Amino acid sequence: MSIALLLEQLLNGLQLGVMLFLMAAGLTLIFGVMGLINLAHGSLYMIGAFACAAVAAATGSFWIGLAASLVAAAAAGAIIEVTVIRRLYDRDHLDQVLATFALILIFSEGTRWLFGSFPLYLDIPPLLQGAVPLPGGGQYQLYRLAIIGVGVVVALGLYVLISRTRLGMRIRAGESDREMIAALGVDIRTLYTVVFALGAALAGLAGALVGALQSVQVGMGEPALILAFVVIVIGGIGSIKGALLGAILVGVVDTMGRFLLPKALALMIPAAQAGPIGAALASMLIYIVMALILAFRPSGLFATQS
């Protein structure tokens, strides 16, 4: 096993972690501030991917498509919050789960009606095509490095937003005591809409960025949503720092597990059996890590609320 190959897989895990962070950051903000379990978050990821693919195909510009993904996902999030989610705040979590699951079905069938059942494809922009050299003689795709860079910028931007701005102060206050900030004159409905739209935009951005690496298709958001829930459980509900560290942990553990476990098992059992067994064990690895963390930290690594 070469150093270049190991480093390439490590970077792949980091890139997966960054994508999961973009999903989980919005999800944990929505749950932390609004107390809402939003199963439709994966649909907003899908909306961002389809908006980027459709606009990029119409204009020939990936960058215009990327901007369209942010606008489309944020607008969809705001509309959902005003028309559906706003009626669920005083309901229990079961009602929220059922309503947002219904939104998954609506968005999936609506997207299939608009774009058809066949996948769409996004081309990597010329500026980010090519590869960069790695130590040991390997190469790594420039676009994947750009995704990692976007994740770092978004993480820094969220830190500044949450800790240094008036909106961030209101978001932090909303996580602690929603009734009190409403009594102090803050328009809690507008705050909820802004937070939901921000979380939706981050999900749409993740979908657009990943759309250039894989096909854009109906239902693509649900597997990412499951991993995003694992991330926020590990990192702690309501914590952006926890979402970042949890996402990197999940991305690296999942990628390196799928890479290393079959090779390790091949040293003990025949290679024909090591591959399937290793893949099955690797798919369970992040859930084993989650269970171990929860055994010692039941509220997650950086929980902001009980």
Q: Is residue 47's pLDDT more than 90?
A: yes
Mean pLDDT of the chain: 87
Encode pLDDT of 276-299 as tens digits.
Answer: 888 888 888 999 999 999 999 888
Query: What is the mean pLDDT of the segment spanning 5-14?
Result: 89
pLDDT value of residue 62: 93
**pLDDT tier, 34 (very low <50, low <70, confident <90, very high otherwise):** confident
pLDDT value of residue 171: 75
**Count of domains for the chain:** 1
Q: Is residue 19 part of a domain?
A: yes
- Range name among 12-26, 43-57, 131-145 with the lowest pLDDT average: 131-145
Q: Is residue 70 part of a domain?
A: yes
Encode pLDDT of 104-146 as tens digits.
Answer: 999 999 999 999 888 998 889 998 888 888 887 788 899 999 9
Q: Is residue 194 part of a domain?
A: yes
pLDDT value of residue 306: 44
3-state SS of the chain is CCHHHHHHHHHHHHHHHHHHHHHHHHHHHHHHHHCCCCCCHHHHHHHHHHHHHHHHHHHCCHHHHHHHHHHHHHHHHHHHHHHCHHHCCCCCHHHHHHHHHHHHHHHHHHHHHHHCCCCECCCCCHHHCCEEECCCCCEEEHHHHHHHHHHHHHHHHHHHHHHHCHHHHHHHHHHHCHHHHHHCCCCHHHHHHHHHHHHHHHHHHHHHHHHCCCCECCCCHHHHHHHHHHHHHHHCCCCHHHHHHHHHHHHHHHHHHHHHHHHHHHCCCCHHHHHHHHHHHHHHHHHHHHHHHHHHCCCCCCCCCC
Q: Is residue 251 part of a domain?
A: no
In this prediction, what percent of the chain has a pLDDT beyond 90?
A: 44
Q: Is residue 156 part of a domain?
A: yes
pLDDT value of residue 11: 92
Per the model's pLDDT, the better-predicted residue between 34 and 258 turns out to be 258
Q: Is residue 262 part of a domain?
A: no
Q: Is residue 162 part of a domain?
A: yes
Q: Is residue 305's pLDDT more than 60?
A: no
Q: Is residue 249 part of a domain?
A: no
Encode pLDDT of 204-261 as tens digits.
Answer: 999 999 999 988 999 898 888 999 999 999 988 878 888 899 999 999 999 988 888 8
Query: What is the mean pLDDT of the segment spanning 163-178?
Result: 75
Instruction: Give residue 197's domain range.
Output: 3-218
